[in-house]
Structures are given as structure tokens and as C-alpha cells.
Amino acid sequence: MPRPSKRERFDALVGAGLRVFAERGFNKAQMADVAAVMGVSQGTLYNYVESKEALFSLCLDRLLEPDAAMPELPVRMPSQDDVLARLRARLEEVWALPRLEKALATRRPADVRAELAEVIEEGYDAIGRRRLAFDAIERSAREMPEIAELYFVEIRRKQIARYTAYIEARIRSKQFRPQLDPPTATRLVLESVTYFARHRLGDLDSAMLDDDTVRHTVVDMMSAALLARP
């Protein structure tokens, strides 16, 4: 069997790091845990990253760009300010959500059901494709107040506000149910999407569900819950 290439080993390191940080958080994660997941010696890891802090930063960088070119190795330990700045930039790109932005700029769409389905699908895919990265961020945010402030307050609340504004606009255009409370409806949609796109895969009673069927069902049911009755 041919030996893994440097790129293959690098990608495996990022995947193993994300898995360990997602399961244990930053403080409890050990480089030995990552080496065990990869099936290599701990010393091998230091050919690629200078420290656990460097690995954590590298994993967050791959939140948006999993196929980006390899950086210069070994990856150096960044400052905390650099980690936060890079994480902020990545999260802002992840949550740019062009379909939601287009919907917010549209006064009254001709096909509101299609628009709503696109908005929900966009959020579902943004979460589902980066499940382990979000798990790693949230688990580590419990121990790192600066990441908690950035992720939960600065970024997450901004997204909640954008979705709430969208629901409010469609209630005004009389295309969503008028009795909806926009903040509650927003959280119902986002929490449902987050569970099925992300947390479901860690649930022994739900992980076996077919991904495409789950995605379609969530979009269909959330759309039906919001749309005005004919």
C-alpha cells in the first residue's frame, strides 16, 4: 500500500483535529488524542503544526476553505487576536447567505414558497457542510470567552436578526401567516434546521435517517408552517 502523500496526511490531520475539538473542546483536547485518531505517533503531528493552538487555528481556517492550498509547514502558533480575526472573517463568509440577502431586498416575490424553500435550504446546507467545525467552535466557546462573544453574540445574533427581518417582511406582504410571532418563528425554524442538519448525526435514534429525505422534509414542513393559508 502506498504511503499517504503530505497533502493526504495534512487533510487527515485537519479532520482528526476537528473531530477531537468537537468532542472534547479546546482545553481537554490533547495532541495525543489527535494522533490516536490518525493512527500516527504524536511526534508526526509537529511536522505539520507547531502546537495545539496552531492546530485549532488551522481547523477553524478550514471552516470555509476545506480545499485551500496547504500553508507553509509547520503552521505557526497564532496570537489570540489573529485567531479571532480569522474566525470572524470565516464566519462572516459562511453566513453571507446570498439567497437570504436577495429575499430581504425583494418587496413581494411572485413565488414566495420557492423563495422560502431556497432560504431554508441555504441555511441548512451552510450548517450541515460544516457540522464538525461548528461543534468544535461551540464546545471550545464554553472555555474561551472571546470565542463565545464572537460566535454567540456578534455573529449568531446578527443571523437571528436577519431571519427575523425576513419573516417580518413576508408577514407585511401578507404571504406568511399573520398570527406568527417573528422572533419565535425564527427560532423554531433555525433550531429545527440546526438539529436536523447537524445534531441529528450524533443522535442514535436519528442518525440513520436518509440525509436527502430529512433535508426535503424539513424544508417542506417549515415552509408549510410559515406560509399564509390560501
The residues spanned by each domain of the chain are 6-78, 87-226
Model confidence pLDDT, tens digit, residues 12-70: 999 999 999 999 999 999 999 999 999 999 999 999 999 999 999 999 888 767 777 88
pLDDT at 7: 87
CATH 2.40.100.10 fits 87-226, yes or no: no
Helices 112-128 and 182-197 sit at what angle, rounded to 10 degrees? 50
pLDDT cut 90: percent of the chain above it: 80
Mean pLDDT across the chain, nearest whole number?
A: 93
One CATH from 1.10.1240.10, 1.10.10.60, 3.40.50.150, 2.30.30.100 for 6-78: 1.10.10.60
pTM value? 0.90
Backbone angles phi, psi at 227, to 5 degrees: -65, 145
162 vs 169: CA distance, rounded Å: 11
User: What does the buried/exposed string (b/e) look like for 116-136 if buried means 16 or more CB atoms within 10 Å of the residue's CB?
Assistant: bbbbbbbbbebbbbbbbbbbb
